[in-house]
Structure 1
Amino acid sequence: MSWKGTTKAFGRLPQRIATKTGLRTETKDLRFDDIQTRFTEMTKQTEKLHDDAKKFRDGVSNMLNHQANFADLLVELYNPITSEEASDGVVTRRTKTPAQAMKATEEYAKLMSEVRDTILAELDSIDRRIIMPATEFLDVIKLIKKTVTKREHKKVDYDRYQNSVKKLKDKKDKSLSEEKQLHKYEDQLERATQEYDHYNELLKKELPLFFEYRVEFIEPIFECFYHMQLRIYGLLFEQFEQLAELGYFDFESDIIDGFDKKIVDAREQLEDITLFKRSKQNKKQDESSRKQSSIRESARTGSSGQVPTYSKDHIEEDDEPPAYTPTPVRAQPPPPPPVSRKPKPVRYVVALYDYDATADGDLSFRKDDKIELIKRTPDVNDWWTGKLNGVTGVFPGNYVAEL
């Protein structure tokens, strides 16, 4: 703000304070107040339209990117997990994915990638046909706001000069300086009246026209937005319809019922896995240990919750310690003669993956570690016992390969 503008602002400050506190009156124009209320509401709605259009653009873009990433992750999760190549050159497949499920997943990832690339190009038209016109419309509103602000300043000048003239006219005995000041205020009041009437009548005349023109602005944006959404959702429908033609998805049964049935079957299969059983056993042991600790704590503290104490006053003088009978000392038996046994051959396995212990007694190792095999079962999905770096523990058999 320039020095001239700052001076005017300080000159208007007393009038603004006096008006807000009720010490002075201000000019009211009910018709303009109604128009200004409508203008303020239209400004808020236009700003919201501008912001929501940007959010829609960013939201669709994020949805497409996350959708494509989700499809890629599904492909990685559905891919069979294989072990490292063993010494005999055979690669053991640990998990198998049904061919139909693998094909559906790969097709889904391919279609989602195509949808993302196609629709992201369509989103550029949102900037050109919605966001940019809304920005231009807001620029026009800013210019009108400046005129509204100027009209408000002229109204304050009009009110303060009018109050000053009225105050001096009501004074009976005026000095020469007061007479000169009265003429000065009358000239300023006349100029302020002309300026205030100019801006006030201008806004009352042209703002209603501006309200009518807003329809010309909104109609093409609304029509464009409708066709863009139709285009985006149509592309999504076409791609998903191709995916439905694979025959992998069940569209006949209810979605929730189908999910509940599949999750029950998965849990039943999960209960047959030794890892899952061992996890449940560990939980039961932990619960049992907590219960036993609670029982011992209750027995120690008694029903009152306090630890019982004893003093010498509770021991009578006639009480004697129990008789002590020494245990007869016997000669140390001779050690048994050494038995000659053939040393048991040491077997080793190599780690195919990293494994971090999940419970006490587990053996942690890194990929390619050479582990001494102490005990194993015929089932590779069972827990085996091994030794590494002087530490003995159990580990999943399907994480290693025998040497």
Structure 2
Amino acid sequence: MKGITKAIMRTPHMVGSKVGMSKKSADPEFDEYQRNFTTLEAETEKFVKNTKAFSDAVNSLFTSGSNFAQHFSTVFHPIGSEFDLLGKHPQAANTLKNVDDYQVALEELRTTIAPELELISSRVLAPVKELQGVMKTIRKMITKREHKLVDYDRFNNSLTKLRDKKEKSLSDEKNLFKLEQDFEVATNEYEYINGAMKQDLPRFMSLATNFIDPLFHSFFYMQLNIYYMLLEKLNQFADGKYDVSITPAQIADEYEAKRGESFETIEALGLTQRIVSTSKLVQQHRALSPNSATFGRPPTSPLGRSPSAASTSTTGSRNISAGSSFAKKAPPPPPAPFGSKPPLGPSSPNLAAPPPYSPSSNGVSAAAAKRAPPPPPPLKPKPQPNVQYVVALYDFAAQADGDLDFQTGDRIEVIERTSSAEDWWTGRLNGRTGVFPGNYVQDA
């Protein structure tokens, strides 16, 4: 609470000094020491960050290298035994034989490097963090010195202003006496802490330099030791197996020569091609054939219906080469209801027409006695709604990107449809748009 009160009392003077309304004292000697101290703080923080980055990078290097060797060993051994790679490709004998040795070498190297990284943490990072703790204490003292300087300036400005006043009242005389006492206290406190800081900061800067210099040399030799261990271990592994005197450019050229046409062969495989979703296939077909109403994907005839002419005509466009994309399978036929009977054909010999209606003789005479009523006026055709809906008869699960899945009973808005129910239609459900088989739904 006391610190908050002092901060409130210092605020008017701090604001006034920034806008030039209040006088602010300056000590060039201390300002120079403070700039040097701020630079030392920033460089120490950079040293800590870079040391951590180096340790993390070395750890990641050997972890990734060990995993790399392990995966190569896992990949090559089943292939080598199953397809007889050594017999078919004798030029790859070195790779197949040395992959296990490479994995062992990297595992041993990672185990050997781990203690060196621990030394960096204990002998470099830990002492520098202790130095940062001391520097935080000094920074607090610099902040306290700034507060004492503000008190000194504000009491000095108030006292000077009151002394320069020509006509003083009784209250002014009382305030003058109090300000003189406050100014004397503020002067003593400021001069004490300012003198102590000007005396101790140069000594600290010298000691900090002497402290960091051996840490820097230790860190350098630890790095050098890690590099030597890495070089020695890899040279032992490569001795008699690989020529380590060639340049990276020569290694790249040799790799390109040995690779041959294998990369082009892999690129030509349909397995490596990007799968095109159903919606994109529909859009591509419509862009190429603007007169076509839809991009048909005739499913199997699930309801005992033969595909329509529109469905048959669009079937050919669904056959896509394996080199460019993959052909989407027709949707599964909808499940037949349990216990349902097969639908009857349009003409069945077992069906007989109902007997004609024969009115009685009395009815005929009564109808003849009366005049026939005028025919009713024709009904106006109801306007067709702009939005059409269908109801799902079965559950449908999406087979690819762009398909619209739904559950039995869902009400689907139809965006685009064909005259045949054996085609794929475009619809919207719950904000999702996609294509679905027309034989899975009926008009709402």
| TM-score strictly above 0.5 | yes
In the TM superposition, residue 265 of structure 1 has moved relative to its aligned partner by 4.2
Matched, 1:264 2:224: no
Q: Out of 251-260 and 167-176, give the one that drifted further.
A: 251-260
What SS does the aligned partner of 2:196 have?
Answer: helix
Q: What TM-score do you get using the length of structure 1 for normalisation?
A: 0.65
CA distance in 1, matches of 2:286, 2:254: 44
For residues 77-116 of structure 1, the aligned pairs below 5 Å read 77-81=75-79, 93-94=82-83, 96-97=85-86, 98-116=92-110
Q: Which residue of 2 aligns with 1:355?
A: none
In the TM superposition, residue 262 of structure 1 has moved relative to its aligned partner by 2.7
2:33, 2:202 within 8 Å by CA — same for their partners in 1? Answer: yes
CA distance in 2, matches of 1:291, 1:151: 75
C-alpha deviations, 1:287-311, integer Å up to 9, x for none? xx999875643x88xxxxxxxxxxx
C-alpha deviations, 1:54-97, integer Å up to 9, x for none? 22112211111111111111111212338xxxxxxxxx823525
Q: Out of 170-179 and 40-49, give the one that drifted further.
A: 170-179
Matched, 1:147 2:141: yes
Q: Which residue of 1 aligns with 2:327?
A: 360
Query: Aligned in 2, Cα 1:210/1:279: closer, same or farther, shift over 3 Å?
Result: closer
2:266, 2:272 within 8 Å by CA — same for their partners in 1? Answer: no
In the TM superposition, residue 104 of structure 1 has moved relative to its aligned partner by 1.5
Q: Which residue of 1 aligns with 2:69?
A: 71
1:155, 1:196 within 8 Å by CA — same for their partners in 2? Answer: yes
Letter in 1 for 2:112: T
Letter in 1 for 2:181: D
Q: Specify which of 106, 114, 120 is matched with residue 120 of structure 1.
A: 114
Q: Which residue of 1 aligns with 2:48?
A: 50
Q: Which residue of 2 aligns with 1:185?
A: 179
Query: Aligned in 2, Cα 1:295/1:143: closer, same or farther, shift over 3 Å?
Result: closer
Query: Aligned in 2, Cα 1:129/1:278: closer, same or farther, shift over 3 Å?
Result: closer
In the TM superposition, residue 33 of structure 1 has moved relative to its aligned partner by 1.2
CA distance in 2, matches of 1:145, 1:234: 41
C-alpha deviations, 1:93-140, integer Å up to 9, x for none? 235254421222111111000010110121111111111110111111
Q: Specify which of 219, 226, 232 is matched with residue 225 of structure 1.
A: 219
In the TM superposition, residue 32 of structure 1 has moved relative to its aligned partner by 1.3
CA distance in 2, matches of 1:192, 1:121: 55
What SS does the aligned partner of 2:79 have?
Answer: coil
CA distance in 2, matches of 1:278, 1:209: 72
Q: Which residue of 2 aligns with 1:276?
A: 269
Query: Aligned in 2, Cα 1:104/1:164: closer, same or farther, shift over 3 Å?
Result: same
1:71, 1:108 within 8 Å by CA — same for their partners in 2? Answer: yes
CA distance in 2, matches of 1:279, 1:215: 60
CA distance in 1, matches of 2:40, 2:70: 45
Letter in 2 for 1:42: L
CA distance in 2, matches of 1:360, 1:233: 54
CA distance in 2, matches of 1:149, 1:279: 65
Letter in 2 for 1:93: E
1:158, 1:192 within 8 Å by CA — same for their partners in 2? Answer: yes
In the TM superposition, residue 184 of structure 1 has moved relative to its aligned partner by 0.6
In the TM superposition, residue 51 of structure 1 has moved relative to its aligned partner by 1.8
CA distance in 2, matches of 1:95, 1:17: 84
In the TM superposition, residue 359 of structure 1 has moved relative to its aligned partner by 3.1
Letter in 1 for 2:252: I
Letter in 2 for 1:15: H
Identity rate, percent: 36
Query: Aligned in 2, Cα 1:269/1:187: closer, same or farther, shift over 3 Å?
Result: same
For residues 2-401 of structure 1, the aligned pairs below 5 Å read 3-81=1-79, 93-94=82-83, 96-97=85-86, 98-248=92-242, 251-252=245-246, 254-267=250-263, 270=266, 276=269, 296-297=289-290, 359-360=326-327
What SS does the aligned partner of 1:24 have?
Answer: coil
What SS does the aligned partner of 1:80 have?
Answer: helix
1:154, 1:195 within 8 Å by CA — same for their partners in 2? Answer: yes
Letter in 2 for 1:170: D
Query: Aligned in 2, Cα 1:186/1:242: closer, same or farther, shift over 3 Å?
Result: same
Query: Aligned in 2, Cα 1:293/1:222: closer, same or farther, shift over 3 Å?
Result: same
Letter in 1 for 2:24: E
What SS does the aligned partner of 1:233 have?
Answer: helix
- Could you tell me which runs of 5 or more consecutive residues in structure 1 were left unpaired when the two chains were aligned: 83-91, 284-288, 301-357, 363-403
In the TM superposition, residue 241 of structure 1 has moved relative to its aligned partner by 0.1
C-alpha deviations, 1:229-259, integer Å up to 9, x for none? 1111111001110121142457547122122
Letter in 1 for 2:33: I
What SS does the aligned partner of 1:81 have?
Answer: helix
C-alpha deviations, 1:171-198, integer Å up to 9, x for none? 1221112111111111110111111111
Letter in 1 for 2:83: R
Q: Which residue of 2 aligns with 1:370?
A: none
Query: Aligned in 2, Cα 1:191/1:252: closer, same or farther, shift over 3 Å?
Result: closer
1:80, 1:95 within 8 Å by CA — same for their partners in 2? Answer: no
In the TM superposition, residue 17 of structure 1 has moved relative to its aligned partner by 1.1
CA distance in 1, matches of 2:216, 2:244: 38
Q: Which residue of 1 aligns with 2:351?
A: none
1:104, 1:248 within 8 Å by CA — same for their partners in 2? Answer: no
Letter in 1 for 2:210: E
Letter in 1 for 2:30: F
Q: What TM-score do you get using the length of structure 2 for normalisation?
A: 0.59
- Could you tell me which runs of 5 or more consecutive residues in structure 2 were left unpaired when the two chains were aligned: 87-91, 277-281, 293-324, 330-444
What SS does the aligned partner of 1:200 have?
Answer: helix
